[in-house]
Amino acid sequence: MAASGSAAAALARAALPILLRLPPETSHALGLYGIKLLSRQWATPPAPASLAVQAFGLRFAHPVGLAAGFDKNGDCVDALGALGFSHIEIGTVTPRPQPGNPRPRLFRLRRAGALINRMGFNNSGADHVAARLGAAKYRGIRGVSIGKNADTPLERAVDDYLACLRKLYGVADYFAINVSSPNTQGLRALQSTDALAGIVEPLQEERERLAATHGKRVPLLVKISPDLDDGQVAVMARSVRSHALEGVIATNTSTHIEGFEAELARAQGGGISGAPLREKALAGLRLLRGELGRDIPIIGTGGLMSAADVRARLEAGANLVQLYTGFVYRGPPLLTECLQALQ
């Protein structure tokens, strides 16, 4: 990293403790602004070619990306990309802008290295995200997580997923079909076999039409809950295979982690991420890999707080990983640590 990049990294490290004393959403907004402000000073060297990963028909410079939820609207793709992420997942995006759930809706559990969020897909809508990604210069892989608006009935959810696919197809490298967030009422019901088929099959049909128009075939992945039991994971794996989805993201946040019932109750719902989710997400990944075999790529996320966590997830069968809560608490040094450990 060049001298200016070292100075930017030092400034980011110094700012992090201050940001973590502010209300979580305020801290997040200021953190994004700071990354944007310092982005021209970062001089992250390219990852060695030996770390490159081929998955979903795409080439990733290395395994470590940024999960959906950090940059919901694609406003900071270039700045975040300058830090060195191989891929950045935007969203979750809905067809129409929506404010999300009432505040407060994001809570820190600092001693546990965790977050609880019940954000509710707050975002500026698919048109805004399409414009932002269309203007971005980031050369890494751009994923887009798509969902339904809160006021769209479940029986019409497919209309929202299709609207997002159409509006964002030209600027996305892959789509994550989010049917596992606990923060939109009833959404997790879309993980059932029949409901998932009612979403995926129309998306695949529309994807073929769009591929002919845009000259590219954008992969479709599904993001699953860590709260599925072993039988449900097996059923989900069969669905992934039968619907010829290109991959799986495992996992979303959890609404059931032993020892954190009181904290979740105080937050009035939502999902927990970070260190308490580590073992549950890892176990889910291992089970899913056993069900899917080796040929369907998996992105592992949930509870990745250190380079050791990233290594464990890759050894358990993930092709790629995504940071979120660990990045909130540790900032850019976590990404640097992970990449150095993988070399």
Q: Which residues are catalytic?
A: 181
Q: Is 212 exposed, middle or buried (0-12, 13-18, 19+ CB in 10 A)?
A: exposed
Rg of the chain on CA atoms, in Å:
19
What tokens does 319 get?
A: 């092709």
Closest CA to 39 of 80, 89, 87, 88: 80
Residue with tokens 């110094």: 14
What's the rounded Cα separation, in Å, for the pair 199 and 172?
19
